Amino acid sequence: MKLRDLDVIVTAPPVPGWGGRYWILVRVTTDNGITGWGECYASSVGPEAMRHVIKDVFHRHMAGENPENIELMFRRAYSSGFTQRPDLTVMGAFSGLEIACWDILGKARERPVWALLGGMMNDRIRAYTYLYPLPEHDLAAFWTSPDMAAESALAMVDKGYTAVKFDPAGPYTMRGGHMPGMRDISQSVAFCKAIREAVGDRADLLFGTHGQFTTAGAIRLGQALEPYSPLWFEEPIPPDAAEEMAKVARAVRIPVATGERLTTKAEFAPVLRSGAATILQPALGRAGGIWEVKKIAAMAEVYNAQMAPHLYAGPVEWAANVHLAASIPNLLMAETIETPFHDSLIRSTIRVEDGFITPPQTPGLGIDLDEELARAHPWTGDGLHLQMQEEPCDYVNGNDFEGGAPAPRD
């Protein structure tokens, strides 16, 4: 069995678009006709440029190879061009292709992917969700409204979720870490207070920041949130300084989580060695694929750290997350996004029920991807999957934060 053909589909989730502006899906076919699906997570280049990168990685390092030889293909891509160091764009391309290889291998052996990764460790995976507006909420007002956030949190907990994530702390700025404004600290405290009062002890609070702060600013904000006992303080500073993040971890009595912007074990190892985080959040469509993240999970075991696979993408990466989560002993929870488009794209083959995911028993990733639906929603914009604003923190008027992909308005 050899890898033969590749197709790349860039699909755009319709309004409101949760999961990013577009998803890059890859379909890989073998010489004996088995098809595997993968997903390449957000890249620092646009989808058309990324399409060419994916094709180059496939034809240069993978075409004609046995899909079993994942380690060999990883080393080719990781070392390409005399690098042997993490390259976010190359590894993003490889990750999606690698996921497709596992889908192929599972189908060829008529076994789910988790069975090829050491078997079933977790037959029920705790899911968490980001807080999104309810149908009755105003899209623009939601992101600065503690009351609306609390209503959304209660609705999610009533559905069975035992953890909810939110990030009201300030601008998603390309300027690097900043000192939070007092308005942003007060707003963050108000969100925690309102959500905690709404859900009580039925759910954990997951506080996100997306690397927005300086070390001192993150400590200042984190200490203000401590009375509400969030389960984690996510990426409190930019992800490129593990020793600085470790200073935050030592100063704040909330576990630090990080990893959605990191790729390969080479970038996760310093996080563990420095004590920067005890919860790792790899995105499997960018971190090197399923096998590489399995290695990262094994490293995390040694440091008594847990895994919480990240998702701000489509359901193919989510399926990969689910299989990885099913196979590891140090799982905390897995992120999920429930929209009709996510569900329809894989024809409801994996779902969240009462706040938990049951790993599929069907071969490969266990998804039935609706290729026609994916092609019917092409991306026609010019933005990136996620973008950062150029304007600095507004210390006068406060900050209306919607993350790196604000919802489109009809």
273's tokens: 């060695």
pLDDT single digits (tens) 4-46: 999 999 999 998 889 999 999 999 999 999 999 999 997 899 9
For tokens 């024809």, the residue is 347
Please tell me the predicted confidence (pLDDT) of residue 395: 93
**Is 129's pLDDT higher than 60?**
yes
* Confidence at residue 271, expressed as pLDDT on a 0 to 100 scale: 98
Closest CA to 24 of 12, 13, 10, 38: 10
| pLDDT higher than 70, residue 406 | no
The neighbouring-strand residues paired with 7 are 27
What is the arithmetic mean of pLDDT over 284-297? Answer: 98
HEC string of 113-146 equals: HHHHCCCCCCCCEEEEEECCCCCCCCHHHHCCCH
Strand 256-258 to 35-40 pairing: unpaired
Quick: pLDDT tens for 72-85.
999 999 999 999 99
Query: Mean of the pLDDT values across residues 189-199?
Result: 98
Residues 6+ apart with CB under 8 A from 257: 206, 232, 233, 234, 235, 277, 278, 279, 280, 281, 308
Burial 148-171 (b: 16+ CB within 10 A, else e): bbbbbbbebbeeebbbbbbbbbbb
DSSP class of 360: P
* pLDDT at res. 280: 98
Mean pLDDT over the full length of the chain: 95
| Distance from C-alpha of 102 to C-alpha of 37, rounded to nearest angstrom | 9
Work out the average pLDDT over 275-292: 98
167, amino acid identity = D
What mean pLDDT comes out for the span 386-393? Answer: 88
Given a contact cutoff of 8 angstroms between Cβ atoms, the answer to whether 135 and 339 are in contact is no
Cβ atoms within 10 Å, residue 17: 16
pLDDT of residue 42: 75
Q: What percentage of the chain exceeds 90 in pLDDT? A: 91
Q: For residue 405, what pLDDT band results from cuts at 50, 70 and 90? A: low
pLDDT in tens, 325-361: 999 999 999 999 999 999 999 999 999 999 999 999 9
Question: Which pLDDT value is given to residue 398?
Answer: 86
In this prediction, residue 388 carries a pLDDT of 86
Distance CA 273, CA 266 (A): 11
In terms of pLDDT, which residue wins out, 386 or 272? Answer: 272
The phi, psi pair for 363, rounded to 5°, reads: -65, 155
Query: What's the pLDDT tens digit per position in 292-325?
Result: 999 999 999 999 999 999 999 999 999 999 999 9
| The pLDDT of residue 160 is above 70 | yes
Mean pLDDT, range 148-174, rounded to an integer: 95
pTM: 0.97
- For the ranges 165-179, 285-299, 354-368, which has the lowest average pLDDT? 165-179
Is residue 185's pLDDT more than 60?
Answer: yes
Give pLDDT, residue 264: 98
Distance CA 402, CA 61 (A): 38
Q: Is 357 exposed, middle or buried (0-12, 13-18, 19+ CB in 10 A)?
A: buried
- For 209-235, the pLDDT digits (tens) are 989 999 999 999 999 999 999 999 999
Known catalytic residues are 210, 310
Please report the pLDDT score of residue 408 as a whole number.
61
Q: Answer whether residue 175 shows pLDDT above 90.
A: no
Choose among 228, 111, 72: nearest CA to 64.
72
Domains of the chain (ranges; CATH) run 116-364 (3.20.20.120)
What's the pLDDT score for residue 410? 53
- Residue 406's contacts (CB-CB under 8 Å, 6 or more residues apart) are none
